[in-house]
Structure formats: C-alpha cells, structure tokens
Amino acid sequence: MANDTGGLRGLVAILLLVMFIATCGSARDPVKYSLANQNEGSKRKPSNSNPPPKPSPKPNMRSKPKPTLNREPTPSPTPAPPAIKRGSTFSVLDYGAKGDGVTEDTEQWQAFLDAWGAACHHEAPSAMLVPSNREFLVGPISFSGPCEPNIVFQLDGTIIAPTSAKAWGTGRLQWLEFRVLEQVKIQGRGTIEGRGSVWWSNTQYLLSNSLDTKLSGNLPHTRPTALRFYGSSKVTVTGITIQNSQQCHLKFDSCQAVEVSGVTISSPGDSPNTDGIHLQNSVGVTIRNADMACGDDCISIQTGCSNIQIQNVKCGPGHGISIGGLGKGNTQAAVSDVTVQNADLVGTLTGVRIKTWQGGSGYAKGFRFSNIKVSQVMTPIVIDQFYCEQTKCKNQTSAVALSDITYDGVVGTYTVQPVRLACSDSKPCSGIHLSDIQLQGAQQRGKILDPFCWKAFGDIKGPTEPPIHCLQ
C-alpha cells in the first residue's frame, strides 16, 4: 500500500514537471502565444454569460481582436426624410402658359395662378419663373397670400397687358397685384408692358403706336395701376422694368419694410397721370438707384407714410419728386421723416415739391432734400399749400401744417422760377432751412421770375443764387 502511494506521488510530480516545462516554453515565445490566442479567439463566439477570466497584461495588449464594422457597426447619421425638395422653381410654361405674346385666354391666366400657388405653398425658398425670351399676354390678376416666406417672383421675360375691353370688364384699379405677403421679392431683367397708350386721352397715341394693337371696344373709364403691393411687409423689387403703364406704374399701399432698387420706369412725358412710384400708408421704404421717366410725379408720397429714404435716383421727364397732394377733400394728413438725397432731375415740371389742398388738416414734417441736381427744371423748389387740379378751387381756412423742412445743396438750372414757397395764411410754414442753393436761369424764351415766399418762416445759411430775401 505504501509502495502504491509512493508511486502515485512520483507520477504526480512528473506530470507537474512536464506542465512547468511546457508553460515555460510558451512564455519564451510570446508572439506565437499571442497569435495562437488571437486565432482561437476569432473562432469562439462571445458568451452572454459570465465574462472570461482576464488574461495576463502583456498578452492582453496583443491578443484582443480589433473591432470590425461587421462586428460592431458605427452609428450613422439619421437619413433626411425623402420627398421634400427644397428651393424649387415653378415655371409658368410648365402650367400651360404659351408665351407667344398673342394668346389671351383663361388657360394663360390660370397658368400664372397655378405656378404662383405651387410656389406660394412650397417650403421656402421657392420661386415662380416667368422665363426670358417669351412674351405673356395676361389679364388682371392678383397673387395673394399668405404664403411661405422668402418667395421669389422671377421676372425674366415680358408680361403684356391686354387691350381689349372684354379683358377689363367694368374697370380695375390694378392690373398685376400682390396682396398680404411677407418676405416677397420681385426680381429679374424682365419687363412689365402696360400698353397704356390705348388708355391715354391724347389722340396721337390712339392713332399711331407701334406697340399697341387697334383698340377693341370701349375701355372702362377707370385706368389701372400696372403693379401694386397691398398689405405686405419685407417687400423687395429689384432690376425689373415697368413701362407704358395705364396709370401709375408701381404702387405700395399699407406696406412695411419695402426696398426698391435698380428699377427702370418709362413712359412718355405727356402720358397722363402715369406716376412712377406711388406710396401711401406705408412705413420704412427705401428707393435707390432708380431711373424714372413718366408723365406725372416720378415719386409720389401720400398720407400715412413715414421713414422714407430716397437715394441716387434719376427723374425726367416727369413732374419731379413730390410729397402730396395732402388733405384733399378736407381729409387729415400725416407724413413724416422723408429724406431725398443724390437726385438728378432733367426737364421736369418741378424738382422737389410739397403740395397740399386747402381745407385739409394734420401735419407733414421732417423733410430733408440734399444734393439735388436740376437741369432745365421749371421750378426746382416748391411748397404749394394752394394746390388745385381744377381750374378753380374754393378758398378754405383749414390747412395741413408744414414744418422742419431742409433744402441743402440744390444746384443747377431752371426755366421759370427758382424757388416758390406759398404757405397757408392760417398755418404758415415753419422751420424752413436753406443752404447751398445755387440755381441759374436757363436761356429760355419768356420771363424768368424771382423767388417767391408767402407766410414762409425759416433761415438761410450762406449766400444763395439767386438771393432769396423773401423768407421770413
């Protein structure tokens, strides 16, 4: 029994010695051990139960297999939802418009409305396109909101007004209208052609004009504005041309934050009541780099306007840049903070003018006219509180109060009278400031008049040409 026990112990000792030698041999070649362990580990599937025992520090650095994309995928960004296409342009041609300058039917009108509707309700930014090298004959139309903000009306082609009486019905106040919009932009190098000669009373336009076809039927008495914006904010109009309007070319009514730049307005000097840009009940308007020729005021500013900036504009032919007429029909006026700077006026009826009707009330104040250049202008500086469009108007006591008016740097030539300040007896003009007035009478037939003032109070800085002694 003892011999058996001793033999068993000897056998155990031999086995321990063999294991010790095998272990030492593996330790002498760690690279083989690491590779073997890595290969073996790649064959084994990870267990969801207890984690395996930690290997010795050195083999662990080499034997731990690197993760691969197949084993543990890296999270990817959430894909964008499909179907929504941003920044789409909707051409009127895709909605059935002909663009031949002749077709005038319901489908043509509907194509413009459909293209507008698609752009209006599409996620911003979106645009309605009137493509170049095309002429579209379109009747009276209104592009209404509300729409998604930042909508663009891209005018590259030409929109032509119809001349048939049928297209106008009993009369329209506007031809192309944009209503109740926010952040809308009208841009491009295209043209809005009003073909207004068929509306003008001057017979020379009715008898011969290369642009217009023969008048079909009797047009209504009411003449429309070519392009009107109503009840809109953050409006931009840039680059386009508006010509031969039936009446006013471009009108803003009850709008806020308006910018007009780089536009061209063109009508003959004797086309009746064809104002260039007309503002009423609008606040925060900037007009710059505009070139205007028309048969009435190049820019007309009516009641309800304030914070108006006019810069780097050209006017002529036309009636000049005017505030008013205010107070017509015994109404109350409110106009303030108007600046006109760097304006060139050539061959116009007046330069910069303020006109009010007798019988009106309210106020007009805070006007500054600076760096105004005039050439062959009949009367460059005008305040007329006895304005009357009829042959004779009734004398009335009530008047719009005028105050805080500055003329600085009005230079050039005149043909009739350099300055005319005709203020109300009951509401004299106050706070008129004149400086750097240099006006030379042009060599014209007829009598040149001296400066005229009536109930006008203010001051003059420095010498003027001609001398203005009448200001009180």
Nearest to 284 by CA among 313, 263, 261, 255: 255
Residues 291, 296, 297, 384: which is the catalytic one?
Answer: 296
First CA to last CA across the chain, in angstroms?
147
Residue 372 near residue 380, CB atoms below 8 Å: yes
Instruction: State the SS3 of the chain.
Output: CHHHHHHHHHHHHHHHHHHHHHHHHHHHCHHHHHHHHHHHHHHCCCCCCCCCCCCCHHHHHHHCCCCCCCCCCCCCCCCCCCCCCCCCEEEHHHHCCCCECCCCCHHHHHHHHHHHHHHHHCCCCEEEEECCCCEEECCCEEEECCCCCCEEEEECCEEECCCEHHHHCCCCCEEEEEECCEEEEEECCCEEECCHHHCCCCHHHHHCCCCCCCCECCCCCCCCEEEEEECCEEEEEECCEEECCCCCCEEEECCEEEEEECCEEECCCCCCCCCCEEEECCEEEEEECCEEECCCCCEEECCCCEEEEEEEEEECCCCCEEEEEECCCCCEEEEEEEEEEEEEEECCCEEEEEEECCCCEEEEEEEEEEEEEEEEECEEEEEECCCCCCCCCCCCCCCCEEEEEEEEEEEEEECCCCEEEECCCCCCEEEEEEEEEEEEECCCCCCCCCCEEECEEEEEECCCECCCCCCC
* Catalytic site includes residue 296: yes
Residue identified by tokens 């297999």 is: 65
Show Cβ contacts of residue 125 under 8 Å, excluding neighbours closer than 6 positions: 86, 87, 150, 151, 152
By the 8 A CB rule, do 190 and 159 touch? yes
CA distances from 175 to 167, 234, 400 (A): 11, 22, 33
Task: Read off the amino acid at residue 394.
Answer: K
**3-state DSSP assignment of residue 87:** coil
Q: Among the options 122, 249, 278, 319, which is catalytic?
A: 319
433 is catalytic: no
Active site residues: 296, 319
